[in-house]
Amino acid sequence: MKKNYILAFVLSFAVLMSWQYFVGQANKPVPGATTPSSLSSSPERTAPAVTPTGALPVPAPFPPPAVQRESVVVFEMGLNRISINRYGGAVAQWEIREDDHWLTLVPVQPFPIQALSTFPDVAYEVRAEGNRLVMTGQRPDGLTIEKTLRIAPKGYLHEVSHRLANTGTVPLSTSYELGWGPGMEGGDEGGKDGREAKGFSAGYRFRWDQIHQT
**35 is a domain residue:** no
Please tell me the distance from the alpha carbon of residue 130 to that of residue 134, in angstroms, as a whole number: 10
- Domain containing residue 191: 72-213
Instruction: Report CA-CA distances (Å) from 108 to 17, 40, 93.
Output: 112, 75, 8
**41 is a domain residue:** no
Cβ atoms 112, 66 nearer than 8 A: yes
**29 is a domain residue:** no
**155 is a domain residue:** yes
Please tell me the distance from the alpha carbon of residue 87 to that of residue 92, in angstroms, as a whole number: 10
**64 is a domain residue:** no
What pLDDT was estimated at residue 205?
Answer: 38
CA 168 to chain CA centroid, nearest Å: 35
- For the chain, residues with pLDDT lower than 70 are 1-68, 109-112, 176-214
Cβ atoms 114, 126 nearer than 8 A: no
Cβ atoms 199, 186 nearer than 8 A: yes
**51 is a domain residue:** no
Cβ atoms 145, 161 nearer than 8 A: no
What pLDDT was estimated at residue 99?
Answer: 86
Structural domain count of the chain: 1
Alpha-helix residue ranges (DSSP H) falling in the chain: 2-27, 195-207
**205 is a domain residue:** yes
**2 is a domain residue:** no
What pLDDT was estimated at residue 114?
Answer: 82
Q: How many residues does the chain have?
A: 214
